[in-house]
Amino acid sequence: MKPLAAALFILAAAVAVTAGSRLAHNDAINTVDKSAVLMGTFVNIKVPVTDGLSRADAAAAIDKAMDEIRRVERLFSVYMDDSEISRLNRAKKGEAVKIEEEAFSLIERSADFSLATDGAFDITVKPLVDLWSEARRSGKVPSDEEVRSARSRVGFRDLILDRGERTVAFGKDAMALDMGAVAKGYAADMAARTLAENGVRNAIVGCGGDMRCLGVRSPGKGWKVGIRHPRDKGRTFMDIVLSDAAVDTSGDYEKFFIAGGRRFSHIIDPRTGYPAEGAVSATVVSDDSVTSDAFATALCVLGSEGLRRLADTGPGGAIIISYKNGGLSIDTTKGFKERYHAIKTADIR
Ligand code: AMP
Ligand code: MG
| Among 206, 283, 226, CA closest to 251 | 283
Residue 69 · residue 190 · CB < 8 Å: yes
pLDDT band with cut points at 50, 70 and 90 for residue 145: very high
Adjacent-strand bridge partners of 283:
249, 319
Q: Residues 289, 212: contact at Cβ < 8 Å?
A: yes
- Measure the N-to-C terminal CA separation of the chain; round to a whole number of Å: 40
The ligand 1 atom nearest the CA atom of 210:
3
Average pLDDT, the chain: 91
Express each pLDDT in 237-282 by its tens digit. Answer: 999 999 999 999 999 888 888 988 888 899 999 999 999 999 999 9
CB 242 within 8 A of CB 281: no
- Please say if the pLDDT value at position 2 is more than 80: no
Q: Go through 274-286 and write b for each residue having 16 or more CB atoms within 10 A of its CB, e for each that does not.
A: bbbbbbbbbbbbb
Reported confidence tier of residue 28, pLDDT bands at 50, 70, 90: low
Say what the pTM is. 0.93
Phi, psi (rounded to 5 degrees) for 343: -120, 125
pLDDT for 167 equals 98
For residues 170-196, give the mean pLDDT.
Answer: 98
User: Which numbered ligand comes closest to the C-alpha of 130?
Assistant: 1
CB of 210 closer than 6 A to ligand 1? no
When pLDDT is cut at 50, 70 and 90, the band that residue 14 belongs to is: very low
Nearest-ligand number for the alpha carbon of 19: 1
